[in-house]
């Protein structure tokens, strides 16, 4: 997995912004999961967890990780990450869901995940003085509209399909 981190670093990716439903997970929770973390763990996509672990655990990694989602349950996502990545420092993952603490009045679905990403970039600057330019952001999302919107904001973007593998992701990185 260190080869993937090295490739991301070489491509100057500083932020992995990962969608939750049908990207980190193989299912869609509808934004209000009621089945508990244990049941939700059954639907975690192992390849995405491996990618997150690699970014967190590789000593040469300068990559930040965020989960950007329309879900209103960031606490559930945080607990899921803690259980899915027991040996990683998941406190380094910023979870940005649609919660009142950051969502601006009039938030638009037409902007895809851009408000989420912007909020994460601002937090990283405030927290660590990290300067992350648009082209240094890579969104992984199952929604083709969100992928296209991200590209229009000059981000890199990869559409995750139901059969997502790390080999597909490696092939994508080779095209950047």
Residue 106, SS3 per DSSP: coil
* Residue 17: partners with Cβ closer than 8 Å, 6 or more residues away: 66, 68, 113, 116, 117, 120, 137, 138, 139, 140, 155
Taking the CA atoms of 112, 116, 60 and 79 in sequence, report the sign of the dihedral they define: negative
Name the β-bridge partners of 64: 15
Element (H, E) at 96: strand 93-96
In a 13 Å sphere around the CA of 161, the CA atoms on its Cβ side amount to 6
Mean pLDDT of 93-98: 93
User: What is the maximal distance between C-alpha atoms in the chain?
Assistant: 42
**Which CATH number covers residue 115?**
3.40.50.1000
Residue 94, SS3 per DSSP: strand
Residue from 67, 56, 78, 83 nearest 24 by CA: 67
Question: 84 is in which domain, residue-wise?
Answer: 2-175
In angstroms, how far is the first alpha carbon of the chain from the final one? 19
pLDDT of residue 107: 54
Which pair of structure tokens corresponds to residue 174?
A: 């080779």
Which pair of structure tokens corresponds to residue 8?
A: 């991301």
Taking the CA atoms of 81, 11, 134 and 154 in sequence, report the sign of the dihedral they define: negative
Domains of the chain: total: 1
> Tens digits of per-residue pLDDT, 7-50?
999 999 999 999 999 999 999 998 889 999 999 999 999 999 99
> Tens digits of per-residue pLDDT, 124-136?
999 999 999 999 9
**pTM, to two decimals:** 0.93
> Which residue's structure tokens are 């995750």?
160
How many Å apart are CA 150 and CA 148, to the nearest integer? Answer: 5
Above pLDDT 70, what percent of the chain?
95
């Amino acid at each position: 997995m260190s080869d993937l981190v090295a490739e991301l670093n070489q491509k100057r990716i500083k932020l992995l912004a990962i969608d939750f439903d049908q990207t980190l997970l193989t299912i869609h929770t509808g934004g209000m999961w009621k089945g508990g973390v244990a049941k939700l763990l059954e639907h975690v996509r192992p390849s995405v967890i491996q990618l997150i672990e690699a970014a967190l655990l590789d000593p040469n990694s300068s990559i930040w990780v965020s989960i950007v989602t329309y879900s209103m349950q960031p606490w559930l996502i945080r607990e899921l990450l803690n259980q899915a990545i027991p040996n990683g420092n998941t406190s380094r993952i910023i979870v940005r869901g649609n919660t009142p603490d950051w969502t601006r009045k009039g938030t638009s679905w037409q902007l895809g995940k851009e408000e989420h990403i912007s909020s994460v970039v601002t937090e990283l600057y405030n927290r660590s003085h990290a300067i992350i330019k648009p082209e240094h952001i890579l969104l992984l999302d199952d929604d083709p509209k969100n992928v296209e919107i991200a590209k229009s904001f000059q981000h890199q973007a990869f559409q995750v399909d139901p059969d997502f593998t790390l080999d597909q992701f490696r092939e994508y990185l080779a095209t950047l």
